[in-house]
Amino acid sequence: MHRLLKRQLHKLYPDGLPDDPKLASLVELVEQAYEDFTEDLLITERSLDLSSNELNTKNQNLNSLLNAMPDTYVWLDSKDRVLELRVGQSLQGVFSLHEKNQSLASTIVTDDISNLLQHLAGVRDKTQPNIYEFSLHTQGDDIHLEARFAHLSQGQVLIIFRDITIRKQLDNYLANALEESKRTLQQLQDVINSAPIGFAITTLDNQVLMLNDYALEKFKLDKNKPLPQDFSQLITSNYQEHYHQCLRTFQNNDGQPSSINRIDIEMGSTTARRFLAEIAFCNLVIEGKAIIIQTFLDISERKNLEQQLRCLAQTDSLTGCFNRGHFTVAASHSLAQCQAKTQTFSLLALDLDKFKQINDTYGHAGGDAVLKAFCKITAQQLREHDMFGRFGGEEFIIALANTNHQQAHLIAERIRQQFNELVIQHEQYQIQASVSIGLISSEGDDAHLEALIKQADEYLYLAKNNGRNRVYG
C-alpha cells in the first residue's frame, strides 16, 4: 500500500481497518489512483529529461522540411484545431488563419467544407483513404484540391493541399474537345504540349503513338527520332510486373474509375535518371479508334519529404533509434511472427548506469554525447533485422527475433563489454560509463510484448541491485 495512503488510514483507524467490504473497495480505488499518479509522474519526469538543445534541433529540422514543401499544409491537433498553417503561392486567397486554435472549418475561405470534414473524420477512424480530391467554391471561383493526410503523434494530423485545378480543367477540356470535334492526334499534341505533366497516348496494346514535350524532356528523347515502341520501356524493371497488372485491370474494367486508375511507380530510360511518378490511365475514342492516355507526374520530391516526415515521427531525434511508439508496434509484429513460426523471441532492457551523475558532472551536452556514443556502439553489435529503441532518458530496449536465450546473452554481453571499454571524448573531458542489461526470452508461447518488457525490466533492476554493469536474465 502506498505510504501516504497508509499514513492517512492509520490516523483514521489506529486500531486497524474495520471489516467493511465497501470501505475495502474504496481503499482499493484510492490505492489505484495513487499508483496511476505515480506512473504519470514518472512518465513526465522522463519526458522532461530531453535537453532543450535536442528539442530546438528537432523543431528546426521539422520547420526546414515543411518550409521546403511547395504545397499548402495545415497541422491539426486531435480536435481539428489549427496548430500551424503554411499557404502555398497558388492558394493564398483560400486559406486564412486569424487566431490561435482556430478550427479547420473557419480557416478555409468557402461556403461549405462539410465533405472535407466528413472525410477527415473517416481518415481519423481509418475508414477513408489518406488521399482525397474535392472542389471548393470561393471568391466566385471553383477550385479543385487534392488533400493528403498523414497521422502524427498524439492524434495530430498533417494535411497537405495541392491545387489541381489546372489538371482537372485540362482533363475536362481534353475529354470535351475530343468528343465534340474528333480532333486529330496532332491537334491534341498542340494542346497537351503546354501541360506541366507528362502525356503519353498509346494503343490498347501499349504501343506509343505520341509523347508530349514534358515527357520527351523528362526522358531525354529526341522528338525527331523514333519513339519507344512500347510505353512499358519507360518503366523500370522492378515495377514492370506491377505496371502491367494495373494496366490489365484498368482495361478489364473498360476504363471505369477505380483505385487502379492511378498508381505510383518508378520510371526512367537509358538516357535519363530514374524518378518516382504518379501515373493515371484514361480511355478515349478518337475517330472511332480506342486509345489510352497515360499521364504522369514526377513525385520524387514529395515522396522524399513524406519519408523524412515519417522518419521524424518514428525515430528519436537525438540517437536515431526507434521512438517508443514505433518500437512497440514493430516489435509486437515481430513477436507475433516468431510465435506463428514457433521461434524464440528475446528482449533486452538496457539502462545506463549512474546517468544522472553524468548529467550533473558534464551537463546535458555531455549526457547527450554519452547517449549517442552508446547507441552507435550498440548498433554495431546488432544485426540488420534487430530492433533498437529508446524508451526515454537513458532507457533503451532491443528486440531480437529468432534468437534463443544463449545467443541473446552473447549479444548483450558484447554490448556491455564494448560500451564499458569505450572512452567518450567530450570537450576537454574523457567520459567512461557502463550499462546494465535485463534479458528475457520467449519461445513459441502467447506472451504479450508488454509482459515481456515488464519481465526484462525486473531482470534489469536485479542487474542494478547486484552491482550494475552486468547482464541478468
d(CA 229, CA 388): 49
d(CA 435, CA 440): 17
Residue with cell 533509434: 321
Superfamily name with CATH number, domain 177-303: PAS domain (3.30.450.20)
What pLDDT is recorded for position 96? Answer: 83
User: What is the value of pTM for the model shown?
Assistant: 0.43
Each of the 473 residues of the chain gets a pLDDT tens digit; together they read 656 667 777 777 777 777 777 767 776 776 776 676 666 666 666 665 555 566 667 667 666 665 555 678 888 999 999 998 888 877 877 888 878 788 888 888 776 788 889 999 999 999 999 999 988 877 777 888 899 999 988 899 999 998 888 888 888 887 787 777 555 656 666 777 777 788 888 998 899 988 888 888 888 888 888 888 899 889 998 898 999 888 888 888 765 654 457 788 889 887 778 898 989 898 888 777 888 889 898 888 877 777 777 766 778 889 989 999 889 999 999 999 999 889 999 999 999 999 999 999 999 999 999 999 999 999 999 999 999 999 988 999 999 999 999 999 999 999 999 999 999 999 999 999 999 999 999 986 778 999 999 999 999 999 999 999 999 98
What pLDDT is recorded for position 36? Answer: 67
d(CA 458, CA 440): 10
What pLDDT is recorded for position 30? Answer: 67
In sequence order, the β-bridge partners of residue 322 are: 315, 389
d(CA 280, CA 257): 10
What are the residue ranges of CATH 3.30.70.270 in the chain? 318-472
What pLDDT is recorded for position 28? Answer: 74
Report helix, strand or coil for 312.
helix
Among residues 434, 445, 441, 435, the alpha carbon closest in space to that of 456 is found at 441
Instruction: Show the cell assigned to 147.
Output: 488533400
What pLDDT is recorded for position 259? Answer: 47
- Whether the CB-CB separation of 391 and 324 falls below 8 Å is answered with yes
What are the residue ranges of CATH 3.30.450.20 in the chain? 72-163, 177-303
Q: What sign has the CA pseudo-torsion 43, 44, 50, 55?
A: positive
Residue with cell 492558394: 91
Report helix, strand or coil for 471.
strand
H helix and E strand count, the chain:
13, 17
d(CA 52, CA 62): 15
Residue with cell 558534464: 362
What pLDDT is recorded for position 33? Answer: 67
Q: Which residues are catalytic?
A: 394
Return the DSSP state at 218: H
Q: What sign has the CA pseudo-torsion 113, 114, 118, 121?
A: positive
d(CA 176, CA 180): 6
Instruction: Show the cell assigned to 131.
Output: 488521399
What top-level class would CATH report for the domain 72-163? alpha beta
Task: Determine the distance from the C-alpha atom of residue 43 to the mean position of all C-alpha atoms in its chain, rounded to a whole number.
Answer: 23
Amino acid at 155: G
CATH number corresponding to 318-472: 3.30.70.270
What pLDDT is recorded for position 77? Answer: 92
